[in-house]
Amino acid sequence: MTYQSSVQQLYALGHELASTPSHKFDLAYVRELLTALGNPERRFPSVLIAGTNGKGSTAATLASILRAGGYKTGLYSSPHLISINERIRVNREAISEVEFCEIHDRVELMAQDLVQRQRLPWHPSFFEMLTAMAFEYFASVAVDIAVLEVGMGGRLDATNVVDPLISVIADVALDHQKYLGNTIGEIAREKAGILRANGVVVTLPQHPEANDVIGHAILEKNAQGVSAAKYVPPVSPGAATYLAGRIVPALGRNRYPLSVMGEEIMVDSPLPGRHQLRNIALAITAAEELAPFGLKVTPKQIEQGIRETHWPGRFQYVPASAASGNRDVVVDVAHNPAGAWALRSALSENFGERPLTFLFAAMRDKPLQEMASILFPIAEHVVLTQANNPRAATPEELAQAASHFGADLHCEPVVSRALEKAIELTPPQGVVVVTGSMFLVGEVMQLLGMKA
């Protein structure tokens, strides 16, 4: 089987949340598959990271810190921007197409055998297959540590079969209510499902409902709760970097001094925006808490790891070039209201009064009207398009949701033409902002010749 046929076979299982799952999520089935594979998830230590927003940035930063510390580090993330093998990385390198194909064949044959022998009631899902493949790969190359980003929720997520050294809960907000619950508290309860009895959990103070649920879960599990608050710096508006005692994000970077383990380092992260200060703090704290498990890093290695973090599509600034029609471009995967607010804040901090044109697409199950109400009032023009995903809303559906906000709306269902339209509408001093869906961001990155 070729790499492309492996990918097609995985997509045939139902891409992410492309349709309502007809089968009940049950970790017992994931464990059955992993047991048949020889329990690869037990052959490497791991950190498990859940949250609504920021879990991917936290995971990428922590993985980079551990790599800088000299550890062979696996990173499992989702979804991908351009290629599916981006989700499974070791020391920043994505699993090769040959290795992906070989491991897929191995896991697929095992899954088919288990179904045939009625050890499984149905074939594992897209995400369950990919998770098993990631565990098999990390075990086969003998990683020192794997950083695992929860796909959705936590309690019933396929990644939750591991016994992590540390659990991390990033910011909790409303998203995937159909699957996780209709309140912050209900969603936080699903995220808190990654806690372990007598384990360590790193988190930050956040929404009161989330705080209450996570706090009670820590007590119920007799876990050790560790706050990352000491590594979140105060932020003052105004300057573009650390000036006269003020710490603020710079375009394309977050730069500020920070005392870590009694030593001052210069945080210089390629992930801009004030919201990233919290994710960086979570990553530093998690790295610090791994020391008792024999995974020690120095302040200088933390500094290096933060600086070398690779996590594209997160308020990523793309300077004007021929590919972008000589317009500055920002790509950001904001896909829910909390992400939209973070994007709006970052745009205000970094671009001031420059005219903005939004190229926007979103999934049909997202709160489209709320996202539009946050973002579209600051735009001169909005071009609505449709990402390549079965769940994607049509431009007409997006326009209906956004009709009350007075934006200059344009509908173009083909992403390549929509990008051309956005560039055409944007004056030379303006900025094209691509957002609303990770799938849209990935498509535009490909059109601009960018790599994930």
Tens of pLDDT, residues 305-346:
999 999 999 999 999 999 899 999 999 999 889 899 999 998
| CA-wise closest residue to 138 among 156, 123, 159 | 159
Whole-number pLDDT of residue 350: 85
- Whether pLDDT at 111 is above 90: yes
CA-CA-CA-CA dihedral for 120, 126, 128, 134, to nearest 10:
130
Q: Dihedrals φ, ψ of 254, to 5°? A: -120, 120
Whole-number pLDDT of residue 179: 54
Where is average pLDDT lowest: 51-55, 72-76, 171-175, 398-402? 171-175
Question: pLDDT tens across 219-236, in order?
Answer: 999 999 999 999 998 864
| Percent of the chain at pLDDT exceeding 70 | 92
CA-CA-CA-CA dihedral for 94, 282, 68, 288, to nearest 10:
-140
| CA-wise closest residue to 311 among 86, 151, 152, 134 | 86
Question: pLDDT tens across 165-196, in order?
Answer: 999 999 998 665 555 666 888 899 999 999 99
Average pLDDT over residues 397-415: 90
Token pair for 198: 């007598």
Pick the CATH number of 3-307 from 3.20.20.450, 3.40.1190.10, 1.25.40.10, 3.40.50.720: 3.40.1190.10
Where is average pLDDT lowest: 13-17, 30-34, 211-215? 13-17
Sequence-distant contacts of 292-298: CB under 8 A, at least 24 apart: 293/45, 293/165, 295/45, 295/66, 295/69, 295/71, 295/144, 295/145, 295/165, 296/69, 297/65, 297/66, 297/68, 297/69, 298/69, 298/261
- DSSP-derived letter for residue 2 is -
- Whether pLDDT at 265 is above 50: yes
- Whether pLDDT at 301 is above 90: yes
CATH code for residues 316-447: 3.90.190.20
Asked whether the bond before 79 is cis by omega within 30 degrees of 0, the reply is yes
Query: pTM to 2 decimals?
Result: 0.91
Whole-number pLDDT of residue 249: 43
Domain definitions of the chain by residue range: 3-307, 316-447
Alpha helices in 117-257 (DSSP H): 126-140, 177-180, 184-191, 208-220
Q: Taking all residues of the chain, what is their mean pLDDT, rounded to a whole number?
A: 90
Question: pLDDT tens across 204-223, in order?
Answer: 999 999 999 999 999 999 99
The Cα–Cα gap between 391 and 144 comes to 37
- Whether pLDDT at 443 is above 70: yes
Whole-number pLDDT of residue 238: 35
- Whether pLDDT at 432 is above 50: yes
Better pLDDT: 182 or 243? 182
DSSP H or E stretch at residue 46: strand 46-50
Whole-number pLDDT of residue 353: 87
